[in-house]
Each structure stands twice: as structure tokens, then as C-alpha cells.
Amino acid sequence: MMKKQSSSKKMNPGVYFLINYSVPIIFTILVAFAIPLSKLSANYFVTEIMIRLSRNSFLILALLIPVMAGMGMNFGIVLGAMAGEIGLIFITDWQIVGMPGFLLAILISTPLAIIFGYFAGIVLNRAKGREMVTGFMVSFFMNGIYQLIVLYGMGNIIPILNPSILLPRGYGIRNAISLIGIRQVLDKLIPLKIGGILIPVATFLVITTLCVFIAWFRKTKLGQNMRTVGQDNEVARISGINVERTRILSIVISTVLACYGQIIFLQNIGTMNTYNSHEQVGVFAIAALLVGGASVAKANIPHVFIGVILFHTMFVVSPRAGKELMGQAQLGEYFRVFVSYGVIAFSLALYAWRKRVEKENERKKIMGYRKSILVK
């Protein structure tokens, strides 16, 4: 007697699309509401978005490679940001300015970023299956180590020449350092003004180069290896790929890119909050990527840019909308933090749920197949 097997839920493609892209869709609706509410001028708007695109894209692009290798959302980019900041502390201390300062910061922080990334990679390898939580906790842990170095070591064991960046007590770096020496040094490298707005041509060129690099990397042997590892560890291992080394490499590359991204970010802003600048880097970058439609298993370049535009629009618009709507800008600020966290929670939950549903369907299929063989 053959029981009619109910096959996996075949959703009609429209519903499937809605669920898959629920995050960007909800976001677009939210933003569409909030923009007119905030009463911001189009000019201001476009300038802000352009600046934020040039400032943040590099960091978010750094997230793509670990996703390829199946490591999920790399909360460890915070480590790269810290490495970059240490580099910037040194060039500020030595008073190196302009493009040489910028390049020197990159030069010094790269080895540091590699070491941090390597450490993160090793830890993540020992926590297979829960990379994201572990990455998250590692970033907090490293924050403590960073404080140890910057708040206690510098001025003490690590020689600082310029006492103006130290705290009054004689050691430890101040809370905020002016990066005026390298302020907008990359942005202004190729000056272009349209309608009174400065367009950071060089920065965009750098970002484009990174996009080209990532696209090319996908096709290289190492890139292919990473994708195989990302799809299935066992298959990769059988094909002779050193799974552990590939995973570590993906994190190292991501950390180094994040380091550069943070330096690019800070050169645009012009000041560095020594202890706070890197805190929200992970959360905001990941939220932006998820808003752009990426998921834990799949993230590519369009996601990055759509994400930056949507996410940062919300960011810019919320405080003003909050003020117009409820008379308190503070409300808008809390709202945007809530949305950032909420987006991540929602996307991750959605992804986990879908993963389970797919596993269940696979299992049912296999059981159904077995059953049909038995009956025969």
C-alpha cells in the first residue's frame, strides 16, 4: 500500500521571492515612509549618501570573503579595525601627514591585522558550527586586549614620542585623537567638484579596485577552494583541500581588508574615537550587508551597495523623522539602533529557520525514497 507522499512545500515563486528578500523590501518601505517625514532636502540627502558610500563600502566589502568560505558573517572585522587604529595612533604620534601618513598607517597596521586575523581564524576553526557567536565574543575579548595595549601599554612599554596624545596621567592614549594630518587625504587626492559638492574620486576608484579584486578572486584556485569549503567541508577535504588553512586564510584576508576599510573610514571623518570607533563597526557593517539582501550563506557585491544606500538612508533619516513625528530626535536615534540589531536578528532567524526547513525536506525526501524502495 503506497501512501501518498507529500513532497516538500512548493511555494509559489512570488511568496518565495518575498520571503527571501523580506529584509530589503521591508526596509525600502520603511525608508520610503521616513524620507518625506524627515523633511530633509534632496541635495543634503544625495551628498550624505555619497559620502557614506565612499566611507563605508570598503569595510562592508571585507565581509564578502568569509561568507564565501562558509564562515557566515565575520564579526571579527572589528579586529581589523583595531589594527588599523593602532597604525593610525602611531602615525599621529610620529606626526606623519598627508598621503605618506595614510600609506604608512596601512603599512604598519597590515602585519598587525594579519596576526589578529590569524588568531581569529584559529579560534573560529575550533568552534565550527558556531562561528558567528564565537566571532562576536572574540571581538569583545580583543577589545579588552586592545585596551590593554592602547590604554595601558602605550606611553609605558610602548614608547610614545608625542605627549599631546597621551592622557594626563602620563600613559594611555586620549579618548579622541585628531587625524587632521591625514583628513580626507584619499578623498581629495583626485579633486572633482560638481555643483559645489566634493566627490571623492580616488576613494571610489579604490573601492572599484576592491570590487574587481573580489570578482577576480572568486575565479582563482584559492577562491574556488573557498567556495567548495563553504558549500561542504567534507567534499572539500576529500578533494584534497586543506579546509582549516582555507578558512583561516579567508578570515585573514577579511581582517586585513577591514583594517584598510577602517583607515579609509577614519580619514574621511578626520577624528578617531580611540575606544569607541571600532565598537559598532561590526554591527553596522553586517546590518547593512543583510539589509542589502545578503544572507549568511550568500553575499555578493550588489548586496553591499544596495545595503549601504538603504541602511545609511535610514540612519540619516531616523533622528529627523523621530523629531518630526514625536518631537524627540532621541527617539529616532534609538530607533535606528533598534533597527540595526533587529535586522540582524531577523535575517539570522530567517536564515536559520529556512536552513532547518530545507534539512527537514531533505530528510523527508530520503525517507520517502527509502519507503518507496521498501514497499517495492
Q: Which of 260, 303, 246, 228 is nearest to 77 (CA)?
A: 260
Query: Would you count residue 163 as binding another protein (CB under 8 A)?
Result: no
Indicate the residue type of 52: R
**Is the distance from CB of 70 to CB of 248 less than 8 angstroms?**
no
Rule CB under 8 A: choose which of 18, 197, 205, 345 binds another protein: 345
The span from the CA of 232 to the CA of 218, in Å, is 17
Query: Would you count residue 271 as binding another protein (CB under 8 A)?
Result: no
Query: Would you count residue 34 as binding another protein (CB under 8 A)?
Result: no
Query: Would you count residue 256 as binding another protein (CB under 8 A)?
Result: no
β-strand pairing of 271-273 with 197-198: unpaired
Rule CB under 8 A: choose which of 98, 163, 191, 302 binds another protein: 98
Hunting for cell 587625524 — which residue is that? Answer: 179
Rule CB under 8 A: choose which of 181, 261, 307, 319 binds another protein: 181
Nearer to another protein, 53 or 296 (CB): 296
Three-class DSSP category at 154: strand
Phi-psi category of residue 234: left, alpha or beta, with phi > 0 → left and psi -120 to 50 → alpha: alpha
Rule CB under 8 A: choose which of 164, 175, 208, 328 binds another protein: 328
The span from the CA of 39 to the CA of 42, in Å, is 9
Least CB distance from residue 73 to another protein, whole Å? 9
Query: Would you count residue 352 as binding another protein (CB under 8 A)?
Result: yes
Hunting for cell 570598503 — which residue is that? Answer: 58
Hunting for cell 600609506 — which residue is that? Answer: 103
Question: According to CB under 8 A, which residues from 194 to 253 bind another protein?
Answer: none
Residues that bind another protein (CB under 8 A): 91, 94-101, 103-104, 107-108, 123, 126-130, 132-134, 136-138, 140-141, 143-145, 147-148, 151-152, 161, 169, 181, 326, 328, 330-331, 334-335, 337-338, 341-342, 344-345, 348-349, 352-353, 355-356
